[in-house]
Structure 1
Amino acid sequence: MDSLVPGGTLGVVGGGQLGRMLAEAASPLGVDVVVLDPTPDCPACPPAADQLVADFDDPDALASLAERADVVTYEIELADADALESLDAPVHPAPDSLRTTGDKLAEKRALADAGLPVPAFREVHAETDLRDAFDDLGSPLMLKARRGGYDGRGNHVAATVSDAVGYFDDLTGLVAEELVDFERELSVIGVRGDDERDAFPVVENVHEDEILRETIAPARTDDQTVERAREVALDVLDALDGRGVFGIELFELDGDVLVNEIAPRPHNSGHYTIEGAHTSQFEQHVRAVLGLPLGSTELRGPTAMANLLGSGAERPASLAGADDALSVATAALHWYGKAQVRPLRKMGHVTASGDDTDTALTRARTARDALDFQ
């Protein structure tokens, strides 16, 4: 393929905040982004060249996107792998990677088959399966819907069968995992290019109610764990197909790591890279899917990211406190342009840097806490 910089067009299935930041990263390279999203004037609209308003799996709209794009990618797992596979444009990461990671059971099996460390798991379709899982893996268990879950939706810690039935209603299509007593949550943004692979620094994540609140780069752990996490992340890349960045969530325990989940796209825990790394995860994804040389994954310095989550009743989004947030040393604000605020919805994030991780995290928290919704 001839170089697409400048002058190329990248088609993106999904026009949320990840599509917005992909378009922002593509623009300096002279690459236009066209997004497909069912929400008119979606968050990606301002930096994107155009939007096709249609469902993520609309075959006619996907064909139109492929006609306009040199390469198609996706920023949401609701994209349809079978439909993507039928397009006349290259699709990266490969639809098969989306097919695997979009099904938590298929993902766990693929990782286990590749010899990668994962929590013990069992397939669940009925109460008898769940009882067997409690017998084999202990109680309580982490139960996950195989498809469609994100930000904690579709996940539930259950101590009994009745607890699980009360939460899920239907037990068909679940995965039961041992509940891991981890020391900390880690993640790595891995990247596969045309003939190269790399990984951004190992970072530490802070979740509450299974929603990411903060990311600290680099992770506050020992060198041995960092090396092991990087090694596992690179092995995960070898188990998947296609070019692009992959968000790899890990559990640290007893000096080792387990793979929790994988996203075949830019990931919330990689947002720190916009200010914190020499190449952001978004530029890296654009480079990778277009077959361009990868950029440096090196960290500029200690950096922290704090998510700005919605609060209060659903209402038009009006942000207050930006002046105070931006007065914090090194603070950078990223507003996602969503029209409505609702509880725990990701509305934006802030990053900050410092001479050490504690300083960076304090600054990021101070900036985030200065923001609110009117």
Structure 2
Amino acid sequence: MEFSAPLKSDSIKIMLLGSGELGKEVIIEAQRLGIETVAVDSYNNAPAHLVANKAYTINMKNKDEILDVIRREKPTYILPEVEAINIQALFEAEQEGFHVIPNADAVNKTMNRKNIREFAAEQLKVKTGKYEFVTTFEGLQKAASNMGFPCVIKPVMSSSGHGQSVAKAATDLEKSWEIAKEARGDASELIVEEFIRFDYEITMLTVRNEKQTVFCEPIGHIQQDGDYIFSWQPMNMSETAKAKAQDIAKTVTDGLGGRGIFGVEMFVKGDEVYFSEVSPRPHDTGMVTMITQSQSEFALHVRAVLGLPLDYIDYGCGASAAYKAKEDTFNPVVTIQESAFAKNSFVRVFGKPQSHVGRRMAVALTFDKNSSEVALENAKTIIKKFSDK
């Protein structure tokens, strides 16, 4: 493969639609290969804006604005990095000959929980929990009664767990309805899911292109309000469960097709594995791979996009801990004690220009040669050394 310099007539050009902290790492990995990078988002000075060759701020829900920047820049590859995006723009770009990663249909299926659940459960026949879709509060009450309590309630479209809640009793349904309706994204329809009393949940990072499919070691994670706060790799699980998880991940990603990395989320109960969701892009829980692998999820994503080999080396065990803002401010400052910068840790501050309570602003990464549990405890200790004002 030939590699040129950025900003030349023959440059390979990657455009990110969505420029948060995950996109920032993708841009950095692409630039290491001399790839020209264009970062697009709905607000100025997004994390990936700060490291890309070019940056645009547009309305990501506006089809014409997305197509305008695509036609202007003529990227080799378009990488949608957020769910809140006009999908018709991607379909039209694809029809015009642009290469959407992994493909517009996969983005469309995965950005909507109804589409991907029906695709996985009914077409691909992978194992999932029971579910129903509702559009009214009365429908929610009926579905919850059918499902039993507790049950999980989510908008069919939202990002980073926004709008998700667990109703433990019928008296919780009104609050769950309000939480879902206030979420960013499309809350016109909700999914009501069986609460699987799982032992743990994992992300199976699955990287594919036309040449091969590669699995990273399973990542365990803990969520709070639908968004991850801790992750660790590898997750200690039986070989039977691991094989089932890989089989589900391959079935789903083969069904979606295209190039790139997919974060396949699953619930595990003993040796039984249930499919939950999939994101066709780097996954927030996968930030731990920046310290555990020779090729992080971001590097693997870029390699897959370019059609390059996907092999890598596992260094050992690691964990990540997300730091979320405690304040609302237009001038965020994250204070980190010096002891957080240890020989077996990384700190990543995202540089977001504005914070609000609960917004992810930084991450602590820790490494241990032999134990994920030790790495996780170290990450929990280090994240306590973070504060903001």
Range into which the TM-score falls when normalised by the shorter chain? over 0.9
Within 5 Å, give how 1:168-183 maps onto structure 2. Answer: 168=177, 172-183=188-199
Is the contact made by 1:329 and 1:363 (CA closer than 8 Å) also made in structure 2?
Answer: no
Q: Secondary structure in 1 aligned to 2:154?
A: strand
| Aligned-partner residue type, residue 77 of structure 1 | E
Verify the 8 A CA contact 2:164 2:225 in the aligned structure 1: no
Q: 2:326 aligns with which of 311, 320, 324?
A: 311
1:36 aligns with 2:40: yes
Give TM-score, length-normalised by structure 1.
Answer: 0.92
Aligned residue type for 1:286: V
Between 1:28-37 and 1:190-199, the stretch displaced more is 190-199
Give 1:20 shift: 0.8
Q: What is residue 64 of structure 1 aligned with on the other side? A: 69
Unpaired runs of 5+ residues, structure 1, are none
Q: Is the 8 A contact 1:3 1:292 kept in 2?
A: no
Q: 1:342 aligns with which of 347, 356, 360?
A: 356
Task: Indicate yes or no: 2:202 matched with 1:186.
Answer: yes
Provide runs of 4+ in structure 1 moved above 6 Å.
none
Contact 1:190–1:233 (CA<8 Å) still a contact in 2?
yes
Evaluate the alpha carbon distance shift between residue 165 and residue 52 of structure 1 in structure 2; reply closer, same or farther with a 3 A threshold. Answer: same
The answer to whether the 8 A contact 2:27-2:52 is kept is yes
**CA deviation map 1:327-346 (0-9, x unaligned):** x2311011111122322111
Equivalent pair of 1:25/1:286 in contact (CA under 8 Å): yes
Q: Which amino acid aligns with 2:161?
A: G
Aligned residue for 1:372?
A: 387
Query: Could you say which residue in structure 2 is the equivalent of 1:24?
Result: 28
- 1:118 corresponds in structure 2 to 128
Bigger mean CA offset, 189-198 vs 157-166:
157-166
Q: Is contact 2:4-2:34 (8 Å) kept?
A: yes
CA contact (8 A) 2:45 2:352 kept: no
- SS of residue paired to 1:273: helix
The aligned counterpart of 2:316 is: 301
Write the mapping of 1:1-374 to structure 2, written as runs, cut at 5 A: 3-4=2-3, 7-58=11-62, 59-68=64-73, 69-87=75-93, 88=96, 89-112=98-121, 113-147=123-157, 149-159=158-168, 163-168=172-177, 172-296=188-312, 298-314=313-329, 316-326=331-341, 328-355=342-369, 356-374=371-389
Distance change in 2, residues 1:128/1:53 (3 Å) = closer
Cα distance, 1:259–1:130 mapped onto 2, change above 3 Å: same
**CA separation in 1, counterparts of 2:61 and 2:159?**
19
CA contact (8 A) 2:228 2:322 kept: yes
Shift of residue 74 of structure 1? 1.2
* TM-superposed deviation, 1:79: 2.1
The CA RMSD measured in Å over matched residues stands at 2.1
| Cα deviation 1:124-171 (Å, max 9, x = unaligned) | 123453344234322232111111x23332212235666434442578
- Structure 1 SS opposite 2:373: helix
Task: State how far apart, in whole Å, the 2-side matches of 1:366 and 1:140 are.
Answer: 32
Aligned residues with identical type, % of pairs:
24
Contact 1:127 1:161 in 2 (8 A): no
Question: Normalised by the size of structure 2, how large is the TM-score?
Answer: 0.89
